Structure 1
């Protein structure tokens, strides 16, 4: 039986994923953008673009795995723990710019996207937590 809490958790999680879409799309469009080439990079001018492609593919996998978890009717503690781990990794990557590059987001719109996605996914995972004995 799906409780109201879990229905809201599902909806909130989906909204969190949807809120992340502009950020993911931005990364995807940078893959072929020549202004994101770094000629001074030790591993070649396209190395930054390579990392963007890798990030986009990892995100696709994470979203796919979360989607499977969200669509699973009988979500047990292990499935939920995996979903929380995936969410944690995605959210941590989204906020990694602060400690690594000194900027949490390149502009206000991006910051809003990061906050909305993080809030939606974290709230959704909290609401989807299994009850005792599940």
Structure 2
């Protein structure tokens, strides 16, 4: 059984991952959605869908790294935590990348709430799971 900090960190990390699920599922459904085809795309009409598939696979890897770091428990080494933090940070940064690039932070309020909840849960959880300085 872990410390209160460990337990809260794990719970918040899990909540952040669960909060992200609708956004990830939305991306998964875009892969086969013909409205996400762009006939004028230089690399072919399905190029946008290819990027959606690639994003889903990258997301699966990032979430896997976050889960691996979270389940390591109190024996988590600093290198494991760094990998977990980088994967979680990269995943959440990608959700916010639309704002500076396109001027659209999220397509609707529900998506914005999903982004805020998943970012807050992952950031707080991963931060709480950071090993103390004298740990590994």
Q: Which residue of 2 aligns with 1:100?
A: 101
Tell whether the 8 Å contact from 2:70 to 2:129 is kept in structure 1 after alignment: no
> What's 1:7 paired with?
7
Question: Aligned partners of 2:30, 2:20: CA distance in 1, in Å?
Answer: 16
Q: Secondary structure at the match of 2:63?
A: helix
Q: CA deviation at 1:70?
A: 1.0
Please give the alpha-carbon distance, in whole angstroms, between the structure 1 residues aligned to 2:59 and 2:2: 28
Structure 1 runs of 4+ aligned residues shifted over 6 Å read none
d(CA) in 2 for partners of 1:68, 1:129: 14
Q: Distance in 1 between matches of 2:102 and 2:33?
A: 20
User: What pairs with 1:1-134 in structure 2 (closer than 5 Å)?
Assistant: 2-73=2-73, 74-134=75-135
Alignment partners' CA distance in 2, 1:2 and 1:77: 17
Deviation at 1:44, TM superposition (A): 0.6
Instruction: Provide the aligned C-alpha RMSD in A.
Output: 0.9
TM-score normalised by length of structure 1: 0.97
Structure-2 separation of matches of 1:119 and 1:59: 17
Query: 5+ unaligned residues in a row in structure 1: which ranges?
Result: none
The gaps in structure 2 that reach 5 residues or longer are none
- Please give the alpha-carbon distance, in whole angstroms, between the structure 2 residues aligned to 1:27 and 1:123: 24
Count matched residues: 134
TM-score (norm 2): 0.95
